[in-house]
């Protein structure tokens, strides 16, 4: 609009800074919008200029990435044992949550999970033996994310564990996730001991074959469809999976009854699923993983395909920066703690479950799950506000996952690292909190903010790549 044209158009003002200026505009008849402005994040001085210069290239790459993410069709197609299906899984491999980490830097719950895993695998008879082996250098630790897998909390996957196979049919890639162990003394919170081993063995010998047979009978389960329904039923499929689990139960129960010859086993399996509201989490996570993995390797894209924590570091990966991880220390969540526990007991943020937020669910879809926002003493309108804010940092909106409270608007999807950094606004993540000592379990839950560090690093790295 030329200066001349400005004179004849009604003045409409975007105000950045002193708020009274906006009010004066409005009082004098000019519509005005106040920007909730914050100083930008500290990044390399030349990064912003480079990314601005390459904006067209980045936009094009991001459109491609978004098309892949939005068009993904994750389906639960089968179950198998980790060593048979997970790419690169050897007998000495143990997968864990989050970015890469060495034994000496691992947090308590992750170490505990590994010890439990080694005992479960029969590699060690006692915890002491397991500890020796774990720190011997013989075991190869690798992120789940680098093996097409995801795991909640410690995210430990050992070769004998049964895994669910999720296929993104549209793009042909696959993701894997273990079965959710339920509550109590569980490996994913770093618990070890007979109870843990016994449960893992039961899962391997009863739950796995029963589910495998049932799924073969029922045929693939469309997870995208199921998640979409769950959002309409009050889940955001990260911290609330009650609806998703119920829907899955409906899909599986008749097949279990039809295929399981041993009635006791059938009852045990059905009760196991029914008794664990988070059973579906181990499906919503790999559904997102399969969807996002298809978008990897699009040069120039600024969209995140991974956010994950190992209890020590918080890491992200971008579609446009290959296999690079960008990390910063994971923070201790400000959460609502269970009776008897405080923030002092809490482990820094842990788990691959932030893949749900990366896929436009979890904290990003929290407006669909107002019950969850009460974790931070919030109201239903706070939930709406969280989701609204996430539209600020995402590249698009889901065509399938919708939020009733927002007039069925699609969930904010595809975290654009440029927006995170330039608006100084980090993703919100809905999370459970683990005790910092191995094996104590969950001590709280809440809504936490991702640290800015990994995003700032990814921003600089992308700029360097596009220079």
Partner 1 sequence: MNTAGRVKQGFYFDSVTLMRVGRELSGLPGVAEASVVMATEANKSILAMSDLLLPEFKKCGDQDLVIVVRAKDAKAANDALAKAEDMLSRKKKPAAGGAAAAPAPRDLASAVALLPGANLALISVAGRYAAREARKALEQGLHVMLFSDNVSIADEVALKKLAHRKGLLVMGPDCGTAILNGVPLAFANVVPKGPIGIVGASGTGTQEVTCIIANEGSGVSQAIGTGGRDVKDAVGGIAFLDALQALANDRETKVILLVSKPPQPGVLKKVKALLRKIKKPVVALFLGEAGTPATLEEAALLAVAHAKGEAPAQALAHLTRRDEILAAEARTIVAKRKKPKGRYLRGLFSGGTFCAEAQVVLDGLVRHLYSNAPLGDSQKLKNAWKPEKNAVVDLGEDEFTVGRAHPMIDFTLRNKMILEQAADPDVSVILLDVVLGYGANLDPAGELVPVIKQAAKKVFVVAGVNGTIGDPQNRAKTVEALREAGAHVQLTNAAASKLAGLIAAEVARQNR
Residues near partner 1 (CB under 8 A) are 1-4, 6-7, 9-18, 20-22, 24-25, 27-40, 48, 183-184, 336, 338-340, 367, 370-372, 374-375, 377, 379-381, 383-385, 388-389, 392, 405, 407, 419, 422-425
Q: In the bound complex, what is the minimum distance in angstroms from residue 459's beta carbon to partner 1?
A: 15
The nearest distance, CB 405 to partner 1, in angstroms, is 4
Contact present, 188 and 154 (Cβ < 8 Å): yes
- The order of strands in the sheet holding 336-337 is 336-337, 442-449, 428-434
CA–CA distance, 221 with 218 (Å, rounded to integer): 8
Residue for token pair 């389960």:
221
- The tokens describing 19, both together, are 């708020």
CB of 312 to partner 1, least distance (A): 26
- Shortest reach from residue 248's CB to partner 1, in Å: 20
Cβ-based nearer residue to partner 1, 16 or 258: 16
CA distance 453 to 459: 10
Least spacing, CB of residue 188 vs partner 1, in Å: 15
Q: How far is the CB of 41 from partner 1 (least distance, A)?
A: 12
CA dist 79 and 442 (Å) reads 27
> Closer CB to partner 1, residue 205 or residue 381?
381
Contacts of residue 314, Cβ cutoff 8 Å, sequence gap at least 6: 98, 99, 307, 308, 327, 328, 329, 330, 331, 349, 450, 451, 453, 454
Distance in angstroms between the alpha carbons of the first and the last residue of the chain: 32
Query: What is the distance between the alpha carbons of residues 300 and 333, in angstroms, rounded to a whole number?
Result: 32
Q: State the nearest-atom distance from the C-beta of 254 to partner 1, in Å.
A: 24
Contact between 336 and 446 (Cβ < 8 Å): yes
What is the nearest approach in angstroms of partner 1 to the Cβ of residue 66? 17
Picking from 363, 233, 349, 371, the residue whose alpha carbon sits closest to that of residue 288 is 363
Q: Give burial (CB, 10 Å; 0-12/13-18/19+) of 371.
A: middle
**Helix extents (H) in 143-235:** 194-202, 208-218, 223-232
Q: Which is nearer to partner 1, 95 or 384 (CB)?
A: 384
Is the Cβ–Cβ distance between 457 and 421 less than 8 Å? no
Q: Which is nearer to partner 1, 317 or 442 (CB)?
A: 442
Output 14 or 258, the one with its CB closest to partner 1.
14
Which residue, 67 or 195, is less far from partner 1 as judged by CB?
Answer: 195
Q: Quick one: 247 or 384, whose CB is closer to partner 1?
A: 384
Q: CB-wise, 5 or 137, nearer to partner 1?
A: 5
97, β-bridge pairs: none
């Amino acid at each position: 609009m030329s200066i001349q044209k400005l004179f004849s158009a009604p003045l409409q003002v975007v105000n950045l800074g002193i708020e009274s200026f906006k009010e004066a505009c409005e009082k004098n008849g000019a519509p005005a919008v106040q920007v909730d402005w914050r100083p930008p994040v500290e990044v390399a001085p030349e990064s912003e200029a480079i990314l601005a210069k390459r904006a067209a290239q980045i936009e094009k790459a991001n459109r491609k990435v978004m098309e892949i993410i939005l068009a993904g069709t994750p389906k639960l197609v089968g179950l198998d044992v980790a060593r048979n299906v997970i790419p690169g899984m050897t007998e000495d491999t143990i997968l864990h949550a989050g970015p890469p980490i060495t034994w000496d830097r691992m947090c308590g719950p992750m170490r505990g999970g590994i010890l439990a895993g080694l005992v479960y695998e029969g590699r060690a008879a006692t915890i002491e033996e397991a500890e020796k082996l774990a720190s011997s250098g013989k075991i190869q630790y690798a992120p789940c994310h680098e093996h097409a897998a995801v795991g909640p909390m410690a995210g430990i996957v050992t070769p004998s564990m049964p895994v669910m196979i999720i296929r993104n049919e549209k793009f042909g890639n696959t993701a894997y996730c273990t079965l959710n162990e339920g509550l109590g003394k569980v490996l994913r919170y770093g618990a070890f001991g007979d109870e843990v081993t016994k449960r893992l063995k039961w899962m391997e010998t009863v739950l796995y074959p029963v589910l495998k047979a049932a799924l073969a009978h029922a045929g693939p389960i469309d997870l995208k469809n199921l998640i979409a329904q769950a959002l309409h039923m009050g889940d955001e499929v990260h911290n609330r999976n009650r609806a998703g689990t119920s829907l899955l139960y409906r899909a599986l129960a008749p097949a279990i009854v039809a295929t399981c010859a041993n009635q006791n086993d059938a009852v045990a399996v059905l009760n196991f699923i029914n008794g664990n509201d988070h059973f579906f989490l181990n499906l919503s996570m790999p559904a997102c993983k399969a969807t996002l993995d298809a978008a990897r390797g699009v040069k120039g894209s600024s969209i995140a395909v991974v956010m994950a924590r190992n209890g020590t570091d918080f890491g992200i990966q971008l579609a446009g920066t290959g296999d690079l991880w960008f990390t910063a220390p994971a923070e201790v969540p400000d959460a609502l703690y269970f009776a008897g526990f405080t923030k002092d007991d809490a482990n820094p943020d842990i788990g691959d479950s932030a893949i749900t937020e990366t896929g436009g669910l979890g904290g990003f879809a929290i407006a669909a799950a107002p019950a969850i926002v009460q974790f931070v003493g919030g109201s239903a309108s706070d939930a709406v506000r969280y989701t609204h804010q996430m539209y600020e940092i995402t590249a698009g909106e889901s065509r399938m996952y919708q939020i009733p409270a927002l007039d069925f608007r699609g969930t904010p999807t595809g975290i654009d690292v440029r927006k995170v950094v330039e608006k100084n606004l980090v993703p919100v993540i809905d999370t459970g909190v683990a005790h910092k000592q191995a094996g104590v379990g969950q001590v709280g839950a809440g809504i936490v903010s991702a640290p800015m560090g990994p995003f700032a690093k990814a921003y600089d790295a992308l700029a360097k790549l596009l220079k």
